[in-house]
Structures are given as C-alpha cells and as structure tokens.
C-alpha cells in the first residue's frame, strides 16, 4: 500500500542502473547507460569466439601448444572442451550411445531425469566417452558431449600385413570380455570396412579403425558391457602412434642410439 | 522484495521456488580514448552509471577518502613472516645466549622498519613491506539501499572493488587473504556528485567535485591509491618506491613531453596494471521450460538414432537377465567410462566442473564469455543447509542448469563452509554471497599477448618432434617386449626432458617474465555485509579510507 507506492515513485525518479537493478535487460539488450546505447556488441557473438577458462586454454589459444599429441605427451590437464575442439576441429564427430530415463524417489514423489551417454571421436586415433544426467534431454546430451571432450584419450592402432601407409586395422586377433559379452576383433585387409553390428561399426570408426572383422556374443544390447569389451579388446592391440609425427631427419638406421645422442647434445 | 528478482516455479516436481535473477557481466572494449571519461565514476552523471570496469586503475566512488597505497597481499606477508621467523630463530639461538629469540627478532625488524605509511602512524614490519602488491581486477556498481537489512540510505550509491595478489603461490594455493574487496558507498546527498542529473541544460562538463584533485588527494600515478610522496624527477606522485621505479622504467617521460597518443595514462605500458575494458550488464538467459510431452518426444527421437536403444519394445524382447544389465547401465559414471578408454589419469569427472560448463553454456552458448556473475544475497537453490532434502544423494542432485542463486564453483575442491565466511568486522552482520569473478576475465585482463614470444621460446619445434618420436619408440619397444634393446638411460633421459618442458609450459609459459605475474583463479566469490553498513564518508582509522573491507573466497584454478 502506502510504503510501496512511495518506493515506486522513488525508483522512477532516481533511475539508477548497476548490477542487481531489475531493468529487464535481455541478451544483446543495450543495457549500458540509458540512451547511451553501448551494450555488448553483436559483432563477435556470431563467430562464437572462445574465451578460455584455464591457463592451458589460454596457452592453446595463443598458439603455444602445437598439437593434441603434445597434450598427451606432456600429460597436460585438459579441463576445457574447447581445447579439444581447437585441435580436432571439423574431424570431431559425436554420437549418442544411449539416452535412458532414470527415476529418483524424492520427498515430493518420483522425479524423472534423463541420462545421456555420448561418444566423440575424430576417426584418427582419439576417442572420448561422456555421461550426463539432467531433467532435460537436450541439456543431458549437451553436457555429455562436453564430458566426452574433457575425457578424450588416444587410441592405438596397428597394421595388417605390410607396414605401408597409415595404420588402418588391429594388428592381431583379440577378444575383450565383460559380463556375458564377448567381442572378438580380427585384422582385415584394406578396403574391407568394418564388419560389425551398428554400434560396433560406429565405435570402431570413431576410434579410427578402418577395416576389421568382428564377432560378438552375449547380451550385446547392454551398452556398458559391450563397450567395455570392445575397448578392452582395442587396448590389447597396442601398436604405435601415427608415423606422420616422425620427422625424417631425427631418425636414421640405428634409431635408438642416434636418438640418445641427439637428446644428450641438447643438454637437457 | 528486491525489484531484481522474478518469481517462477521450477520445472519438475518439488515446491515452487523463487528463482532469483542472475546478472552477468561482460567485457566491452573501449573503442575511443575519450570514452574513458564516461566509464564508471569518471563521469559525474550518476543516473548513467551501470556495470563497472575491468582492469586499469580503480575509479573511486568517494574521491576524497581513498585507500592508502600500496595494497599489499596479507597471505604473502604471512608466508614471509613464517619464513623469516624460522630464519630468525636459527640466527638468534646462535647469537643470543640469554636474550631469547623473540627480542633478537624484534631488533632485527625494528632496524629495518621505515616509516613508509606516515598517515596512520603505524609501523609496517619488513615482512609486510616485501609482500607482493595486489593488482586491481574490477569494480561493479551495485546500489543496495533497498535490500540492506536494516535499510541503509547511505547505500544509495554503492561500488565494490576487487584486488588480488598476482603471485604464483597465491594463485595455486589461494587463501582469502590473497584477495582484497573494498566497498564504497554514498547517500544520495553527498559532496561529490550533483543532486539531479536529469537537467539537460547542464551537461556537467565542468563539474570537478568528483575528481580527487579537487580534494587535495594525491593519487599514485601507477595504482591510483593514495600517494605518499612525490618523485621530483618525474614530477608525479607515488605510493611506494616500487611504483616509482616501475613508472620511471616504463614511461620514460622527458621533461614536458606528452605521454602517448592514447590518453590512457600508460595503462598499456605499466606491468602493474591490467588491460582496461568496460563491464556491461546483461540478464542471464532463462532456460526455456519444456513440457513433459516435449521431453518424451525428444527422448524417443534421440533413442532412435542412439547406438543402444532403451525403448520398451526392445525391453519386452529381452529375457529376464536384460533388466539387471539395464540397471548396470544406469549406474555407469564418468569414472567408469574413463576406465574403458584409458582416460582415467587425465580425464575430468568432477560433477561440479561439468555443472559449471553446463551453466555457462545456457542460451545456446551465447554467454560463455561472461566475466562476472551477480546474484545478491539469495541462498543457493535447495535453500536449506540440509543437503539431504532430496534423499541421500548428495552428489549435486540439484540441477543447477535450471537456475538458482549462489556461487557457481569451478570444481568441487576447496569449497567454503558457512564457518569460513566471516561476518562483517564493523557491524557484526552476517555476510552473504553477492557476486563472483569468472576465470574468463583473465583473458581480458591479460589483453592481447600474441606479440609475446612464440611457442618456440618454451621448446622449439624440433625439440618437440624429437620428444614425440622418442615417446613413440619407447611405447613400441614396451609393447613389443623389446625394452632391453634400448640404451640404458634412454627412458630416464626422455622422462626428464618431458618433465622439464611440461613444467615450463604449465608454470611459466609466456607470463613468467612479467615480474612474476602468475595471476590465476577458478572463481573469486565475494561475500558482503548484508547491512551494507557505514556512511561511506567517515574514515575509521584503517588504511582503507572510507571504504570497508569485505570477504572473498578464491578457489583454485582448474588444471592445477
């Protein structure tokens, strides 16, 4: 009644701005200075410029880290998804592995949230798995993608037969198992493609395996057991990382000795 | 209730909660040099005041009773005191047989004390004098006369200033002492600003009362705090020798020559000052509320393209065992996924960190560059101290992404409890969360560092390629069982070299040379007196003039 009226008139005649003052500013609304019209510029919003949140992020943006392989080599802690985006750019794909409703019993009754599992990979030896739970589907999926990017790991691949060109398949027959699920991966010649279930095809492709035979047994519809089995199998097949990183002038006929000499000369 | 909050019911179940409005602060570049005169309190037209500023020097609300410089870090002082105490005690036990350690230490301190801050007559011990000088981060204009409890008309104008210590120790193991928050306020009637600014006939170009010079308050040319003395050589005022030297070194002004073309008074040249930009306010975009039907439809759509479907049709086809394994999937967490891919050591599974990114990603990613979050004195959602309101699941059952007040932490490490937040030392009122500085602000404070030495300075391309190749060799040998073929100290040398480059990247980088500028934080959460006490004029004998200290919690940065 009376006091509120007084307050209203006060506010209207003394229009102050500042944080905490409800002005109904929207996004891109020129909240700055009534009449001055200087709010947040619309220009760079469209380009989605990345503002880093961590020290490593700032280093990456400034160009001080050369490649994602340096991240793994130096065990640099990746705490920003944009760092992965920066290195893998257009090659990065994401796939929803599973979206399942999860019921929670609370004092106010049942609450349904959605748990999303996502895989991201660049099909060139890097893969990440993420999980996020949220009351909205879209938020859960977006959050799971971020989580997957924050947990990217290198996948090692090998050769079949002659070591020519890039690694494209697993180097030997391996089986991974988890629960009732058994997954067997078998080397295949170039051009075979991925012989597998849809889920297996997607995961192996993301991990950078181009050609592979596979067979699976057990309750393969269970996501957790199936992907555990596949990754156990993949990890048994360690070969070496992409040779494109090798520079010709650092290695000659006797690689090991030459390399030790090289390192000792630099006087680390 | 404050006019800032809007009432809306939460989306899923539960009691309808009042969702407080969250304001975000963004950095806007200062296009033209003359615009600096219109930012913050540089302009006397207070009805235009909004947001604040980032970097540069502080723009004082009360230009007369300003804090005395230099503002030194108390965390560093404590650290130095501990170090020198142990050093002194070692010296004393040798030198003084019966004097005891304390007197010898006192003598040492007394002989080194200088009367730098003559204003308040106190003597600063040597350990404090060598403590790092804190740097100005940002200021925000946030009146609180309506919300203060009890109501304080002197909070009609109110500005919060944040300073922090740039040392590497204070950035990696932060304490509340490494941040200084000052609150200045004024009532509507005051000595510095015109009573009515709506008068368009007078554009206040000649108004001077808002400038420190009008009140015979000499400010340090470098940091903008109250100066102690004048340098005869440069004919300028400074608060301490360090700033005097810094200015001389960086801004060599010959007699009478103008400084720069840009009228920013050397902000770009002085290492103690960060890049200056304006802080503008926007509302946080609200989460579009979706109905249960929409959610279900979306879920079904996603389920079709998902690798492993969950639809009921499939469930019926499963035999009894399938149900159990479905539950297994329900319980899969990020750490389990990381075990599968081998990302266990390097991955991020902290729920708080993932929530942080979720929250700043609202509005379709349009607000990711937010530098400041503002939500004054509302409790965090979930409202009660009893975190178990929603059952025994303590693990962030509260869906932060649907909105709510309270600080948004960057990780679950080092979160303060209620006891860690001190009450106001002037009036005893409790302190509550008001705003937080986001780590994005650092990018704007550091400005454009692309001119710095390239990555070759840390380790050249050849060196990095060599290390990568060596790593490959070691890996391959290991998995082929041929480790015996490698030279004996190959692995050791290699690991050592990798470690060296790693440290150089993480600790130093390009900022090591800038006089130890390791400034970094996860978030800096500011808690302020809920009474917003004081009249903003009386200088209560501390070095801070009419400005009152508030409390801040500095959280460790991510990746440390």
Residues of A in contact with B393 (CB under 8 A): 104
Say whether B469 and A247 touch across the interface (CB within 8 A): yes
Give me the torsion for CA of B460, B465, B466, B468, rounded to 10°: 130
pLDDT at A81: 92
Which residue among B21, B338, B455 places its CB closest to the CB of A151?
B338
Choice among A184-198, A241-255, B49-63, B181-195 with the minimum mean pLDDT: A241-255
Residues of A in contact with B295 (CB under 8 A): 114, 136-137
Closest CA to B214 of B233, B192, B185, B235: B192
Confidence of residue A93 (pLDDT cuts 50, 70, 90): very high
pLDDT at B5: 38
Q: Measuring CA to CA, how many Å separate B423 from each of B176, B179, B374, B531?
A: 13, 16, 20, 11
Residues of B in contact with A22 (CB under 8 A): 2-6, 21
- Which position has the higher pLDDT, B39 or B463? B39
- Return the residue of A nearest to B16 by Cα: A108
Residues of B in contact with A235 (CB under 8 A): 342
Residue B549 reports pLDDT greater than 50 = yes
Owner of token pair 């104008």: B157
- Which position has the higher pLDDT, A44 or B409? B409
Q: Give chain B's mean pLDDT.
A: 77
C-alpha B280 chain-centroid distance: 17
Q: Which of A246-255, B206-215, B519-528 has the highest mean pLDDT?
A: B519-528
pLDDT at B104: 42
For residue A227, count CB atoms less than 10 angstroms from its CB and return exposed for 0-12, middle for 13-18, buried for 19 or more: buried
pLDDT at B397: 38
Mind listing the pLDDT tens digit for each residue in B59-99? 999 999 999 989 999 999 998 888 888 877 776 665 544 44
Residue A7 reports pLDDT greater than 80 = no
- Which position has the higher pLDDT, B107 or A218? A218
- Sequential DSSP letters for B472-518: HHHHHHHHTT-GGGS-TTHHHHHHHHHHHHHHIIIIITTSTTTTS--
Which residue among B376, B446, B559 places its CB closest to the CB of A20?
B376
Which residue among B47, B473, B493 places its CB closest to the CB of A16?
B47
Residues of B in contact with A233 (CB under 8 A): none
Residue B105 reports pLDDT greater than 50 = no
Q: Which residues lie closer than 8 Å to B456 by C-beta, 6 or more apart? A: none
Q: Measuring CA to CA, how many Å separate B527 from each of A19, A70, A107, B406, B418?
A: 15, 40, 32, 10, 11
Mind listing the pLDDT tens digit for each residue in B227-262? 989 998 888 999 999 999 988 888 775 443 445 445
- Strand blocks (E) in B228-310: 229-231, 236-238, 277-283
For residue B553, the SS3 value is strand
Sign of CA dihedral B288, B291, B294, B298: positive
Q: Which of A131-140, B11-20, B116-125, B470-479 has the highest mean pLDDT?
A: A131-140
Residue B528 reports pLDDT greater than 80 = yes
Residues of B in contact with A98 (CB under 8 A): 306-310, 329
- Return the residue of B nearest to A179 by Cα: B325
pLDDT at B481: 65
Say whether B472 and A246 touch across the interface (CB within 8 A): yes
pLDDT at B7: 37
Which residue among A24, A45, A153 places its CB closest to the CB of B343?
A153
pLDDT at B322: 57
Closest CA to B355 of A139, A78, A180, A253: A139
Sign of CA dihedral B520, B525, B529, B531: positive
Distance from CA of A12 to the nearest CA of B (A): 11
Say whether A256 and B283 touch across the interface (CB within 8 A): no
Choice among A60-69, B105-114, B418-427, B450-459 with the minimum mean pLDDT: B105-114
pLDDT at A72: 82
Residue A16 reports pLDDT greater than 80 = yes
- Return the residue of B nearest to A63 by Cα: B455
Return d(Cα A104, Cα B390) in angstroms, integer: 9
Choice among A18-32, A94-108, B19-33, B177-191 with the minimum mean pLDDT: A18-32
Confidence of residue A170 (pLDDT cuts 50, 70, 90): confident
- Return the residue of B nearest to A95 by Cα: B306
Return d(Cα B91, Cα A234) in angstroms, integer: 63
Residue A171: left (phi > 0), alpha (psi -120 to 50), or beta? alpha
Per DSSP bridges, beta strands B52-54 and B277-283 are antiparallel
How large is the ipTM? Answer: 0.79
Mind listing the pLDDT tens digit for each residue in B393-432? 333 334 444 456 789 999 999 899 989 999 999 999 999 9
Per DSSP bridges, beta strands B431-437 and B372-374 are antiparallel
pLDDT at B423: 93
Cut 0.90: pTM above it = no
Mind listing the pLDDT tens digit for each residue in B306-350? 888 876 555 545 554 456 667 788 888 888 888 888 777 677 888
Residues of B in contact with A228 (CB under 8 A): 340
Q: Which residues lie closer than 8 Å to B434 by C-beta, 6 or more apart? A: B142, B160, B374, B375, B376, B377, B526, B527, B528
- Tell me what the mean pLDDT of segment A216-241 comes to: 78
pLDDT at B323: 65
Say whether B557 and A54 touch across the interface (CB within 8 A): yes
Which residue among B285, B310, B368 places its CB closest to the CB of A27?
B285
What would you report as the CA-atom Rg of chain B, rounded to the nearest whole angstrom?
28
Give me the torsion for CA of A204, A218, A99, B319, rounded to 10°: 160
Size of interface A-B (CB pairs under 8 A): 412
- Tell me what the mean pLDDT of segment B495-520 comes to: 68
Say whether A150 and B348 touch across the interface (CB within 8 A): yes
For residue B86, the SS3 value is helix
Confidence of residue A171 (pLDDT cuts 50, 70, 90): confident
Say whether A36 and B48 touch across the interface (CB within 8 A): yes
């Amino acid at each position: 009644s009376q006091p509120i009226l007084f307050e209203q008139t006060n506010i209207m005649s003394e229009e102050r701005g500042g944080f905490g003052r409800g002005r109904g500013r929207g996004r891109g609304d020129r909240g700055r200075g009534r009449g001055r019209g200087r709010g947040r510029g619309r220009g760079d919003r469209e380009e989605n410029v990345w503002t880093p949140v961590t020290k490593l992020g700032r280093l990456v943006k400034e160009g001080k880290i050369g490649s994602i392989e340096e991240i793994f080599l130096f065990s640099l802690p990746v705490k920003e998804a944009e760092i992965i985006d920066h290195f893998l750019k257009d090659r990065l794909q994401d796939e929803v592995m599973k979206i399942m409703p999860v019921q929670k019993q609370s004092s106010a009754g049942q609450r349904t949230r959605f748990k999303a599992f996502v895989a991201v990979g660049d099909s060139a030896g890097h893969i990440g798995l993420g999980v996020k739970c949220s009351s909205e589907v879209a938020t859960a999926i977006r959050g799971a993608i971020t989580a997957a990017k924050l947990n990217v790991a290198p996948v090692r691949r090998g050769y079949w037969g002659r070591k020519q060109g890039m690694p494209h398949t697993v180097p030997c027959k391996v089986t991974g198992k988890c629960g009732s699920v058994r997954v067997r991966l078998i080397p295949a010649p170039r051009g075979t493609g991925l012989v597998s279930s849809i889920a297996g095809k997607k995961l192996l492709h993301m991990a950078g395996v181009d050609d592979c035979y596979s067979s699976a047994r057990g309750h393969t519809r269970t996501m957790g057991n199936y992907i555990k089995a596949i990754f156990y199998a993949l990890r048994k097949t360690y070969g070496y990382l992409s040779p494109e990183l090798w520079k010709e002038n650092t290695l000659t006929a006797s690689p090991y000795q030459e390399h030790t000499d090289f390192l000792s000369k630099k006087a680390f | 209730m404050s006019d800032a909050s809007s009432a809306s019911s939460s989306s899923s179940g539960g009691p309808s909660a009042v969702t407080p409005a969250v304001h975000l602060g963004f950095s806007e570049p200062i296009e033209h040099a003359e615009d600096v005169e219109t930012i913050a309190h540089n302009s006397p037209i207070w009805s235009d005041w909004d947001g604040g500023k980032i970097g540069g020097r502080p723009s004082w609300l009360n230009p007369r009773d300003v804090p005395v410089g230099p503002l030194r870090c108390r965390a560093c002082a404590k650290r130095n005191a501990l170090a020198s105490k142990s050093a002194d005690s070692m010296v004393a036990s040798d030198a003084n047989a019966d004097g005891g350690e304390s007197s010898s230490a006192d003598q040492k301190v007394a002989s080194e004390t200088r009367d730098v801050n003559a204003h308040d007559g106190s003597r600063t011990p040597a350990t404090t004098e060598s403590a790092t000088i804190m740097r100005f981060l940002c200021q925000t204009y946030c009146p609180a006369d309506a919300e203060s409890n009890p109501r304080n008309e002197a909070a009609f104008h109110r500005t919060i200033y944040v300073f922090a210590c740039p040392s590497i120790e204070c950035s990696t193991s932060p304490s509340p002492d490494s941040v200084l928050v000052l609150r200045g306020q004024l009532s509507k009637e005051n000595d510095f600003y015109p009573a009515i600014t709506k008068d368009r006939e007078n554009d206040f170009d000649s108004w001077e009362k808002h400038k420190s010079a009008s009140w015979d308050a000499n400010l340090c040319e470098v940091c903008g705090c109250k100066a102690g003395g004048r340098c005869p050589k440069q004919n300028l005022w400074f608060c301490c020798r360090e700033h005097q030297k810094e200015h001389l070194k960086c801004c060599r002004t010959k007699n009478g020559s103008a400084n720069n073309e840009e009228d920013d008074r050397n902000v770009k040249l002085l290492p103690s000052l960060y890049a200056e930009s304006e802080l503008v306010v926007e509302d946080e975009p609200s989460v579009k509320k979706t109905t249960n039907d929409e959610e279900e439809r979306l879920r079904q759509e996603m389920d079709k393209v998902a690798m492993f479907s969950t639809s009921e049709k499939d469930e019926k086809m499963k035999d009894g065992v399938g149900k159990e394994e479905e539950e297994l999937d329900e319980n899969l967490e990020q750490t389990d996924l990381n075990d599968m891919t081998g990302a266990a050591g390097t991955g991020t599974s902290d729920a708080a960190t993932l929530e942080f990114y979720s929250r700043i990603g609202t509005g379709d990613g349009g607000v990711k560059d937010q530098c400041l979050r503002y939500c004054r004195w509302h409790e965090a959602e979930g409202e009660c101290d009893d975190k178990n309101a929603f059952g025994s699941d303590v693990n962030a059952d509260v869906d932060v992404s649907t909105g709510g007040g309270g600080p948004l932490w960057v990780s679950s490490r080092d979160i303060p409890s209620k006891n860690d937040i001190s009450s106001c030392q002037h009036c005893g009122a409790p302190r509550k969360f008001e705003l937080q500085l986001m780590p994005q602000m650092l990018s704007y404070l550091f400005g454009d560092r692309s001119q710095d030495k390239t990555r070759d300075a840390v380790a050249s391309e050849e060196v990095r390629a060599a290390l990568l190749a060596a790593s490959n060799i070691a890996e391959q040998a290991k998995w082929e069982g041929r480790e015996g073929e490698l030279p004996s100290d190959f692995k050791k040398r290699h690991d050592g070299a990798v470690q060296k480059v790693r440290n150089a990247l993480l600790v130093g980088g390009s900022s090591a040379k800038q006089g130890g500028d390791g400034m970094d934080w996860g978030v800096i959460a500011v808690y302020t007196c809920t009474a917003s006490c004081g009249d903003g004029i009386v200088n209560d004998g501390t070095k801070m003039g009419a400005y009152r200290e508030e409390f801040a919690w500095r959280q460790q940065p991510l990746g440390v």
